[in-house]
Amino acid sequence: MPKKSAVGALTSAQTKGEFGEQLSSYTTLTSAETQALFPTKTDRDELLELIKIVTSSADENTKRAELAAKIGKVGGAVMKIIKKVVPWK
């Protein structure tokens, strides 16, 4: 992958910061925690897909079915969140 330009790096950092701030308003995670858990665009897209499923207006059975159908797409986000909220070692 080509190296980002200075402008690209600045934009990416700003986007990550904005993402962290926005997401922290919906969760108990801080902006810094969000950025650390979901550092890449792919990570953030996965998390947003998970949030979209969970917060949809569909009934619980429909949400479960959609989650089961898309677990391959959102599984990484689920694992990161569970590891964060359940500190097992």
Answer yes or no: is 48 within a domain: yes
Show the domain range for 26: 6-85
Please tell me the predicted confidence (pLDDT) of residue 52: 87
* Lookup result for tokens 């569909």: 58
Cα–Cα distance, 36 to 28 (Å, whole number): 14
Tally of structural domains, the chain: 1
What does the DSSP 8-state code read for residue 2? Answer: P
Query: Does 1 map to a domain?
Result: no
| Residue 77: inside a domain | yes
* Tens digits of pLDDT across the chain (89 residues): 556 555 555 556 566 667 667 766 667 778 888 888 888 889 888 988 888 898 889 999 999 999 999 999 999 999 998 888 787 76
Question: What is the structure's pLDDT at 34?
Answer: 81
Q: Which residues, at least 6 apart from 1, have a Cβ–Cβ distance to it below 8 Å?
A: none
Measured between alpha carbons, how far is 67 from 71 in angstroms, rounded to an integer? 6
- Whether 43 maps to a domain, the answer reads yes
Instruction: List Cα–Cα distances, 31 to 2, 7, 22, in angstroms.
Output: 28, 22, 8
Q: Is the pTM of this model over 0.85?
A: no
Within a domain: 47: yes
